[in-house]
Amino acid sequence: MKKLSYLFLVAVIACTNSHAQFGRPGGADSAQRRKTQDSIRQLTEQDHQNMMDQLHITSIRQGANGNDPKAPNAANYDESKANPFPNLPDPLVLKNGKPVTTAKIWWDKRRPEIVEDFDREIYGRMPKHIPKVTWEVTSTTNEKNGDVDVITKKLIGHVDNSSYPGITVDIQLSVSTPANATGPVPVIMQFGFIFPGGARPPAPPPVAGAPTRPAGPTTPSWQQQVLAKGWGYAIIVPGSIQADNGAGLTQGIIGLVNKGQPRKPDDWGSLRAWAWGADRAIDYFETDKAVNAKEIAIEGHSRYGKAAIVALAYNPRMATAYVSSSGEGGAKLHRRNAGEIVENVAGSNEYHWMAGNFIKYAGPLNWGDMPVDSHELIAMCAPRPVFISGGEKGDGWVDARGMFMAAVAAGPVYKLLGKKEMAITQFPPVETLADGDVAFRQHSSGHTDVPNWPTFLTFAGRYFK
């Protein structure tokens, strides 16, 4: 590849989310875009193969097909076939078989065991030394959102790249707080679908059966609902931390720490990198007098719903999360055969979200061989409140029931820590809140976070002053 076009590709991978589409359809831009996407695809396949080689795996099982119900590998939606591995690891039994009977045993022994398993096998480890981030406020604007006067700060988190100047990582963040606030306010931070220059990508193309989100603005927007509570909102741009494709794994924060080399099987993937970025945003919030850094919620939808639950689980300063349609790789039990399955996430389109080791569970191992499952990811959030959400019509891919089951199975840990598990254990009717400090609600729409915002904000309001 010529040097110039390689540099262009590097820049595009670094700031491209696989959802992003830009340029005019049909024109020279679109030819260039196709070329870029082909190159990303190629580099991604190479990186995926490299990881397979490191794992000594020659092939993995095929993922579920969410587009064609007649396909031999069509996604399963028959509940009688959805639980081939019904036994979950017990979050309250130590590896040595002893029961976890006190909060102290949970914190000192059992939680670290669970964290180690997630680190090694599922999401990957964060490196011991990650370069420092220096936040720069690039603009402060007084503006109106609806009727409310807000102060919006745009920020760049410059990651120190003196160890490997070939890779630059500049984290993009914006935070808006009510102009008339009399003190620091809670902030809801979203993993946002926003791109450099402020352009919003169109709705994502249907990937492997995931329905597109319903188009059109909603009134009031989630930001306006947040302002109505007297709170602030923030948006962090995941693609500015780590690209949303396998080609990008030798760039972004993961590539910077690895000095441009491919990952090892237990290195972190994009979900943990995005969660790390959100944690750096909290570093900044701790210095901003307009923000109550002890009352930060993280929100994300779909792949960013996965990032949101990973962020809450791993970042103890995060107060709560709205986890929307996170599905496989998020709150859904990996042991479930419903909608998207492990094999899809282990494939070359999505493996970059996870540790390389995750691929093993799509062959030669199976889901039941995982030392942990997602109920224990939710348990890692305890005792902090978490709100888990999915849609009904057309959101089957994310397996709302599998997420509900995980939330139920996390309950005993909440209880041990003096908090409320969900009040019900039977899958609730649509639009019925399964309430507790771990809570679940399935809205009646599709693949979207819009309908559950009011319920989440009421939920968060119980905890934020």
> Which positions lie near ligand GCU, rule CB under 6 A?
204, 207-208, 210, 302-303, 327-329, 340, 344
CB of 54 to ligand GCU, least distance (A): 24
**Residue 233 or residue 351: which is nearer to ligand GCU going by CB?**
351
Name which of 232 and 446 has its Cβ closer to ligand GCU. 446
C-alpha span between 189 and 199 (Å, rounded): 19
Nearer to ligand GCU, 121 or 328 (CB): 328
Q: Which is nearer to ligand GCU, 328 or 421 (CB)?
A: 328
Task: Give least dist CB 393 to ligand GCU, A.
Answer: 16
The residue whose Cβ lies closest to ligand GCU is 210
Q: Which is nearer to ligand GCU, 76 or 344 (CB)?
A: 344
Rounded to a whole number of angstroms, the minimum distance from the CB of residue 346 to ligand GCU is: 12
Q: What is the closest distance, in whole angstroms, from the C-beta atom of residue 342 to ligand GCU in the complex?
A: 11
Nearer to ligand GCU, 100 or 359 (CB): 359
CB of 20 to ligand GCU, least distance (A): 12
Is the CB of 170 or the CB of 340 nearer to ligand GCU? 340
In angstroms, the CA 359 to CA 60 distance is: 8
Smallest gap from residue 18 Cβ to ligand GCU (A): 8
With respect to ligand GCU, which residue has the nearer C-beta, 124 or 186?
124
Which of residues 279 and 328 has its CB atom nearest to ligand GCU in the complex? 328
For residue 206, the minimal CB distance to ligand GCU (Å) is: 8
- Nearest approach in angstroms of CB 349 to ligand GCU is 7
CB of 204 to ligand GCU, least distance (A): 5
